[in-house]
Chains A and B, each alone.
Chain A
Amino acid sequence: MFAKLARDRFAWLVLPAGILILAVFAYPVFWLLVRSFSDPSWGLQNYETVFAKVIYLKVLWNTVAIAGATTIGALLLGFPMAYSMVHAPPLMRKLLVFVVLIPFWTSILVRTFAWMVLLQPNGLLNDMLIGIGFIETPAKFMFNRTGVLIGMIQIMLPFMVFPLFSVMTRIDHAYVQAAANLGATPVKGFLRVYLPLCLPGIVTGSMLVFIISLGYFITPALLGGRKDVMIAQLIQQQISDFGNWGLSSALAVVLLIGTGLIFAVVHKVFKVGPDARF
């Protein structure tokens, strides 16, 4: 690959991006890697802590579970959304794209606080539900896993919708019509023809949402309860309260390797990755 790149006379175009990535990504990651083995002294002690203490594995599991549930939720909401965007008349489509994009431009902190206003015990949602007599006492929409997922799914939705949208616009509708012509019921046509064609978008969107969710921090801290601790919160606590770079780096490295493994497996199974057709 490098030999080919060297022969290519446009190879220098990669240089600025390459240097940037080296400086702001590769170097810090390398530094983290080193510190996870060297801080406070050389050895595996930080990794021993991560794998020997129940707390870190529990939090790692929490992180994967929350990111997984967010991905499924975003897919269930994002798929119909993307589908209607593709099949809407041009003006409506523009409006829908806009609707998905607006929250994307707002800071995550602001959006999380907006959810707090809506979801709290005497917030808008509970007032409304009590007002119409649907419930009598305020439902617990936040300070628990429900709150974390509501907030995260909404924040992650654009990362699911746009890859799906981009794949769906390129699907020739004639395939589905051909399936119908050949006697497939709408459900069968959808499941056997349309859905497989969407797969690259589904995989790309899911990977994006899952991987970004793994590093989440603000939303679980504000909307979650006692048990909704994600790995990024522990890393922050270790660095900011204790200056424990060694353990934080080990946690970050475990997260990075875990993410890489998941990415590799998906790539192998589906033969697609976030780069495919995005």
Chain B
Amino acid sequence: MKKTKLTNVHEAKDQISADGGLSRRALLQSAGALGFLGATGSLTSLAFAEDLKGREMAFASWGGSYQEAQKVAYCDPFSEATGVEVIQDGPMNGAKLRAMVEAGDPVWDVVDVTDIFLFANAQDGLFEKIDTSIVDTSRVDPKFVHEYGIGCIVWSYNVGYNTDAFPGDDHPKNWADVFDLKKYPGTRTLRDRVYPTLEQALLADGVSPDALYPLDVDRAFAKLDTIKDDVIWWTSNSQSQQLFTDGAAACGLILNGRAYDVVKNGGPVNISWDQNIQSVDYLSIPKGAKNADVAQHFMNYMTEAQNQAKMANIIAYSPVNPDAFPMIDEAVKPWLSTNPDNAAKGFVINSDYWRENLTPLTERWNEWKLS
């Protein structure tokens, strides 16, 4: 079925180039006659293919296996369908983005940002509004639609462990286990950042997810004191993958998609879903982006079920379009954060809390690290 759809898109595209004079109106009519094209959402990208041919667009994300997956799942199919050349750039950097927009000349047209970054900067006019006449937001879970961005993936911070260190069933399963050096000895690795480290510490100390916010900061730091000398603090996701693969860390924190990537390559890593902390990445368009119009079409294309499914099949980050699930491999489904079983065991990080408290708590975090 998927294959047929794609073939038809290409046929229609060939028709455009073949007789050249085919108007968009005629094209829309013929597409309408094809019937199912409209239903699958390919209509919009198809209808504007003529306009976008020869255009280009810069896509900035976080590099590594994540951006590679985005290239294959979103960018390459978009290029193929529309003739737009997508330039890969990055890594995304908040300061760089802000400086670009302030200078009035952003070189990026679509940027992958964290939920906290989007919420914190949307009011400052850092992003273009999502044009809902181009982007079909109805197919995205409303939780992940923002005025200035569209969720692209849902991911989670999970308890991860090295399967050489813990080969049997007796392995760290929740944050309390990660903080228990006697029960599960070995070096830990956690993220060198105040969130979600405070959440982890409080969960480990027995606070229930619905009682977490506002965070009991003193209690969290006191709990962190108990393991601070046995932790390697990772600063990039690739580093976390490396630490788990090499066995430099026995257990700790890893993102679900990054763990899947390691496991797919035969690495000795596994994750537990207990107390997983979910977060959302958004695609957004920097204010004043030169190819903002192309970017809007790209956003629409990104949310199509088949592209969302492709992304999940490569890197196991969860789709925001529920229709993608039937197209996802059975082997990948257990790795997805929005899979109902996994979603039930975790909770979504409170971006509003962090937007307001990130600056003072990061200062406190830095002080704690040096103490």
Q: Are A121 and B362 in contact (CB under 8 A)?
A: no
Report which of B187, B235, B367 forms a contact with A55, defined as CB distance below 8 A. B367
Q: Give chain A nearest CB distance to B358 CB in angstroms.
A: 7
Q: Are A243 and B95 in contact (CB under 8 A)?
A: yes
**Nearest B-chain residue to A62, judged by Cβ:** B370
- The answer to whether residues A242 and B93 also contact, given A55-B366, A226-B228, A227-B370 and a CB cut-off of 8 A, is no
Per-residue CB proximity of A88-101 to B under 8 Å, as 1/0? 00000000000000
- The answer to whether residues A58 and B248 also contact, given A237-B362, A240-B93, A240-B95 and a CB cut-off of 8 A, is no
Report which of A55, A226, A242 forms a contact with B231, defined as CB distance below 8 A. A226
Contacts of B366 in A (CB 8 A): 55, 59, 229, 234, 237
Q: Are A241 and B94 in contact (CB under 8 A)?
A: yes
Bound Cα distance from A113 to B93, whole angstroms = 22
Q: Are A121 and B98 in contact (CB under 8 A)?
A: no
| A222 interface residue (CB < 8 Å to B) | yes
Q: Are B363 and A59 in contact (CB under 8 A)?
A: no
| A174 interface residue (CB < 8 Å to B) | no
| A130 interface residue (CB < 8 Å to B) | no
| B184 interface residue (CB < 8 Å to A) | no
Considering only residues 225-250 of chain B, those with a C-beta below 8 Å from chain A are: 228, 231-233, 235, 239, 242, 246-248
Bound Cα distance from A12 to B343, whole angstroms = 70
Q: Are A120 and B94 in contact (CB under 8 A)?
A: no
Considering only residues 108-152 of chain A, those with a C-beta below 8 Å from chain B are: 116, 120-123, 143
- The answer to whether residues A53 and B233 also contact, given A229-B369, A241-B94 and a CB cut-off of 8 A, is no
| B40 interface residue (CB < 8 Å to A) | no
Interface residues of B, dominant DSSP? helix
Interface size on B, residues (CB 8 A): 24
Contacts of A122 in B (CB 8 A): 246-248
Bound Cα distance from A53 to B232, whole angstroms = 26
Q: Are B362 and A242 in contact (CB under 8 A)?
A: yes
| A54 interface residue (CB < 8 Å to B) | yes
| B359 interface residue (CB < 8 Å to A) | yes
Contacts of A226 in B (CB 8 A): 228, 231, 233, 369-370
Q: Are A221 and B235 in contact (CB under 8 A)?
A: yes
Contacts of B95 in A (CB 8 A): 239-240, 243
**Nearest A-chain residue to B363, judged by Cβ:** A55
- The answer to whether residues A242 and B370 also contact, given A121-B187, A122-B247 and a CB cut-off of 8 A, is no
**Nearest A-chain residue to B228, judged by Cβ:** A226
Per-residue CB proximity of B238-280 to A under 8 Å, as 1/0? 0100100011100000000000000000000000000000000
Considering only residues 186-230 of chain A, those with a C-beta below 8 Å from chain B are: 221-222, 225-227, 229
Bound Cα distance from A243 to B116, whole angstroms = 14
Interface size on A, residues (CB 8 A): 26
Q: Give chain B nearest CB distance to A138 CB in angstroms.
A: 9
Per-residue CB proximity of B25-44 to A under 8 Å, as 1/0? 00000000000000000000
Q: Are B246 and A143 in contact (CB under 8 A)?
A: no
**Nearest B-chain residue to A239, judged by Cβ:** B95
Considering only residues 236-260 of chain A, those with a C-beta below 8 Å from chain B are: 237, 239-244
Contacts of B93 in A (CB 8 A): 240
Considering only residues 30-68 of chain B, those with a C-beta below 8 Å from chain A are: none
Per-residue CB proximity of B342-371 to A under 8 Å, as 1/0? 000000000000000011001100110110
**Nearest B-chain residue to A117, judged by Cβ:** B246
Taking each of B231, B247, B359, B363, which has the highest tally of chain A beta carbons within 10 Å of its own beta carbon?
Answer: B363
Considering only residues 45-94 of chain A, those with a C-beta below 8 Å from chain B are: 53-55, 58-59, 62
Q: Are A58 and B370 in contact (CB under 8 A)?
A: yes
Q: Are B247 and A243 in contact (CB under 8 A)?
A: no
Contacts of B231 in A (CB 8 A): 226
Report which of A53, A120, A227 forms a contact with B248, defined as CB distance below 8 A. A120
Query: Which residues of chain B have a CB within 8 Å of any CB of chain A?
Result: 93-96, 98, 187, 228, 231-233, 235, 239, 242, 246-248, 358-359, 362-363, 366-367, 369-370
* Other 7 A-B pairs with CB < 8 A, given A226-B370, A237-B362: A62-B370, A121-B187, A122-B246, A229-B366, A239-B95, A241-B358, A241-B362
5 closest A-B pairs (Cβ-Cβ)? Answer: A239-B95, A240-B95, A55-B367, A226-B369, A143-B232
Give me 19 A-to-B residue pairs in the complex whose CB atoms sit less than 8 angstroms apart, sorted by A's number.
A54-B367, A55-B367, A58-B370, A62-B370, A116-B242, A121-B246, A121-B247, A122-B246, A225-B232, A226-B231, A226-B369, A229-B369, A239-B95, A240-B95, A240-B96, A241-B94, A241-B358, A243-B98, A244-B359
